[in-house]
Amino acid sequence: MKNLKTCRVNIMISNMNEAIDFYLGKLGLELLNRYGDHYAEIQAPDLLIGLHPAKNNTAYGNNISIGFGVLNFDDTVNDLSAKGITLTIQQEGWIRLAYFKDLDNNELFLAERKE
């Protein structure tokens, strides 16, 4: 796709204010734009996340998975845990993963490569 300019992941959410608070307040990401309760753009390193209200026929959870590569896995896990986020940690040889969910049950994860 030679004309591709940017990419984003859209997440279907149930409450715009609570979703923005989660992604900014708990995860420390940056709000780029908000268009009322219709759409918001959250910036993560090298990833634009769109928050969009779910329609009535949209299933909650299991719609997407977003991974955040981190430099200091343990500190990040401890920081998110202190903010009330429950994480499930997996270690698979060359990678450590910590799975958690947003307020609408969408799966997110931290990843640290073991070199």
**CATH number of the CATH domain containing 36:** 3.10.180.10
Evaluate whether residue 100 is within a structural domain. yes
Query: pLDDT above 70 covers what percent of the chain?
Result: 88
Query: By CB neighbour count within 10 A (0-12 exposed, 13-18 middle, 19+ buried), where does 93 fall?
Result: exposed
Decide if 92 is inside a domain. yes
Contact 104, 13 (CB under 8 A): yes
What mean pLDDT comes out for the span 88-107? 89
Q: What local confidence, expressed as pLDDT, does residue 51 receive?
A: 93
Alpha-carbon distance of 40 to 52, in angstroms, equals 7
Mean pLDDT for the chain overall: 87
pLDDT band of 80, cuts 50, 70, 90: very high
- Average the pLDDT over each of 11-20, 25-34, 56-65, 77-86 and give the range with the smallest value: 56-65
Domain count of the chain? Answer: 1
